[in-house]
Amino acid sequence: MPLLEVKNLRVEFPTRRGTLTAVDDVSFHIDPGEVLGVVGESGAGKSITGAAIIRLIEPPGRIAGGQVILNGRRIDNIPLDEMRHVRGKQIGAIFQDPLTTLNPLYSIGRQLVETMQTHLALSDREARARAIRWLEEVGIPGAAQRVDAYPHQFSGGMRQRVVIALALCAEPNLVIADEPTTALDVSIQAQVIALLKRLCREHGTAIMLVTHDMGVIAETADRVAVMYAGRIAEIGPVRDVVKHARHPYTEGLMGSIPALTHKVARLTQIEGAMPRLTDIPPGCAFHPRCPKVFERCRVERPDLMPTDGPNLAACWLHAPARGAREVGHAA
């Protein structure tokens, strides 16, 4: 049974120009111990999807439809007081900027101890000992001496390690990691990726890894969901999505990454820009930028459908009824 199921999730924000649909009919699942990467351009809906799962959508934003099911229990409609116990105990969160997660007035140890004692029955002594062990586990040198230090006394990379310890210390089943390596230099990024993979493997924790960095996805994820304009354009095993993309948008993303094995005169470029979420075109949202567009793309919106591989793609190129006549109309 999947650990997390997201079914037809819809997130809306009312604005002066009308209702902005930031996440539109998104469905996916994550199995225990699996890393699902969620990738796409800025504004594609990646972070909002993660925030909706843990009910951290800022008003007037709201979950307007769909279901979020964790361990067989629906959590998108439970009272907020009850949801606070789900966060931390069952779902941990790692955010891009550790300074927004850590309280500058409390020592690192106090924040770990309070988090664990909120969700686990531990004495002060037991919680402190566990806090030191978690700091050691995420690679903080001299953890026993640094447990009483404050966030400003740590480097950016070390603060992010502390945030990872904070997300995992109550032993949740699922971690939502939103751009956890973006603010770090490349060497620290590699260490954090290796750390997440090891903790996932050793503790059986499932991870939803939100990022715009395909290198991080290729290195870390088991499966990847590619988002565009609030919807999933393609989802499948990471190797298949990277090597054999089935959606033209994914092909463009993969083509924009430099290859080490051969030289190219020019990287692939996706013409145009992602539409504003208040002005999404009819049909497939990608059709104004798509090099393979045909008439059906302009009038009818595709849902995820099977392809000739393990990937699912929201693209009419893979529709069973698509005939040769339509191929001839490709622009």
Asked if 106 and 193 sit in the same domain, the reply is yes
Number of domains in the chain: 2
Asked if 14 and 90 sit in the same domain, the reply is yes
CATH number of the domain encompassing residue 12: 3.40.50.300
The reported pLDDT for the residue numbered 296 is: 95
Would you say residue 261 has pLDDT above 70? no
Asked if 274 and 186 sit in the same domain, the reply is no
CB 17 within 8 A of CB 69: no
CA 313 to chain CA mean position, Å: 18
Asked if 206 and 310 sit in the same domain, the reply is no
Decide if 87 is inside a domain: yes
Cβ partners under 8 Å of residue 160, min gap 6: 94, 98, 180, 181, 183, 184, 188, 192
Would you say residue 267 has pLDDT above 80? no
Decide if 237 is inside a domain: no
Decide if 170 is inside a domain: yes
Asked if 174 and 306 sit in the same domain, the reply is no
Give the predicted TM-score (pTM) of the model. 0.89
DSSP label at 17?
T
Decide if 252 is inside a domain: yes
- List the one residue out of 108, 113, 114, 178 whose CA is nearest residue 140: 108
Would you say residue 208 has pLDDT above 90? yes
The reported pLDDT for the residue numbered 178 is: 92
Bridge pairing between strands 62-70 and 91-94: unpaired
Decide if 233 is inside a domain: no
The reported pLDDT for the residue numbered 67 is: 97
Asked if 179 and 311 sit in the same domain, the reply is no
Asked if 206 and 253 sit in the same domain, the reply is no
Asked if 77 and 125 sit in the same domain, the reply is yes
Decide if 119 is inside a domain: yes
Asked if 97 and 20 sit in the same domain, the reply is yes
The DSSP bridge partners found for residue 38 are: 210, 225
The reported pLDDT for the residue numbered 192 is: 79
Asked if 35 and 174 sit in the same domain, the reply is yes
- List the one residue out of 111, 69, 106, 109 whose CA is nearest residue 91: 69
Asked if 275 and 131 sit in the same domain, the reply is no
Per-residue pLDDT tens over the stretch 33-86: 999 999 988 889 999 999 999 999 988 999 999 999 999 999 999 999 999 889
Domain range spanning residue 38? 4-227
Cβ partners under 8 Å of residue 195, min gap 6: 138, 139, 161, 164
Decide if 121 is inside a domain: yes
Asked if 209 and 259 sit in the same domain, the reply is no
The reported pLDDT for the residue numbered 264 is: 67
